[in-house]
Amino acid sequence: MNCTKSELLDALEAIVGDAGLKTEAADLESYGKDWTKFTKPAPIAIVLPADVEQVVDLVKLAKRLDVPLVPSGGRTGLSGGAMAPSGELVVAFDRMNKILEFDATDRLVVCQPGVITEQLQQFAEGEGLFYPVDFASSGSSQLGGNVATNAGGIKVIRYGMTRSWVAGMKVVTGNGELLSFNHGLAKNNTGYDFRHLFIGSEGTLGLIVELTMGLTSPPKDPTVLLLGVEDMAATMPVLQACQAKLPLTAFEFFSEKALKHVIEEKGLQRPFETEAAFYALIEFENQSEADLDTAMEVFEHCVESGWVIDGTVSQNLTQAKALWRLREDISETISKYTPYKNDISVRVSKVPEFLAEVDALVGESYPDFEIIWFGHIGDGNVHLNILKPESLSEEEFFEKCGKVSNWVFEIVQRHNGSISAEHGVGLLKKPYLHYSRSKAEIAAMRAIKAVFDPANILNPGKVI
CATH 3.30.465.10, the chain: domain bounds: 99-214
* 8-state DSSP, 162: G
Residue type, 194: F
pLDDT for the residue 120: 98
Query: For residue 335, what are the CA distances in angstroms to 114, 202, 237, 356?
Result: 26, 24, 33, 24
Predicted confidence (pLDDT) at residue 29 exceeds the cutoff of 90: yes
Percent over 90 (pLDDT), the chain: 83
Q: What is the reported pLDDT for 114?
A: 98
- Please give the model's pTM, rounded to 2 decimal places: 0.92
Average pLDDT of 91-98? 98
Q: Residue 77's pLDDT band (boundaries 50, 70, 90)? A: confident
pLDDT score recorded for residue 404: 85
Please state, in angstroms and rounded to a whole number, the distance separating the CA atoms of residues 345 and 68.
Answer: 32
pLDDT-derived band of residue 82, with 50, 70 and 90 as boundaries?
very high
The CATH architecture of the domain made up of 5-95 is 2-Layer Sandwich (3.30)
Q: Where does the pLDDT of residue 272 fall: very low under 50, low under 70, confident under 90, or very high at 90 and above? A: very high
What is the pLDDT at residue 310? 97
What is the pLDDT averaged over residues 41-45?
Answer: 95
Distance, CA of 70 to CA of 68 (rounded, Å): 7
| Own/partner long-range contacts of 1-10 (Cβ < 8 Å, ≥24 apart) | 1/44, 1/65, 1/66, 1/67, 1/87, 2/64, 2/65, 2/66, 3/65, 5/44, 8/44, 8/45, 8/65, 8/67, 8/89, 9/45
pLDDT for residue 38 is more than 80: no
Segment 385-434, tens digit of pLDDT: 999 999 999 889 988 888 888 999 999 999 999 999 988 999 989 999 99
The answer, yes or no, to whether residue 78 has pLDDT greater than 90, is no
pLDDT at 340: 87
Per CATH, domain 99-214 is 3.20.20.140: no
- Does the pLDDT at position 333 exceed 90? yes
Q: How far apart are CA 149 and CA 172, in angstroms?
A: 17
Q: What is the pLDDT of residue 137?
A: 87
Residue 338: what pLDDT?
Answer: 84
Domain 338-439 fold: Alpha-Beta Plaits (3.30.70)
Q: What is the pLDDT of residues 210-247, one digit of tens each?
A: 999 999 999 999 999 999 999 999 999 999 999 999 99
Every domain of the chain with CATH number 3.30.70.2740 lies at: 338-439
CATH hierarchy code of domain 222-331: 3.30.70.2190
The Cα–Cα gap between 39 and 230 comes to 39
401 or 440, higher pLDDT:
440
Residue 76, pLDDT above cutoff 90? no
State the average pLDDT for the chain: 94
pLDDT reported for residue 13: 96
- Give CATH 3.30.70.2190 domain extents, the chain: 222-331
213 closest CA partner among 136, 139, 151: 151
Integer Cα distance of 31 and 74 in angstroms: 9
Closest CA to 145 of 35, 295, 250, 255: 35
Other beta carbons less than 10 A from residue 160's beta carbon: 14
pLDDT of residue 365: 82
Report pLDDT for 201. 97
pLDDT > 90? residue 367: no
* Mean pLDDT, range 295-306, rounded to an integer: 96
Q: Is the distance from CB of 76 to CB of 185 less than 8 angstroms?
A: no
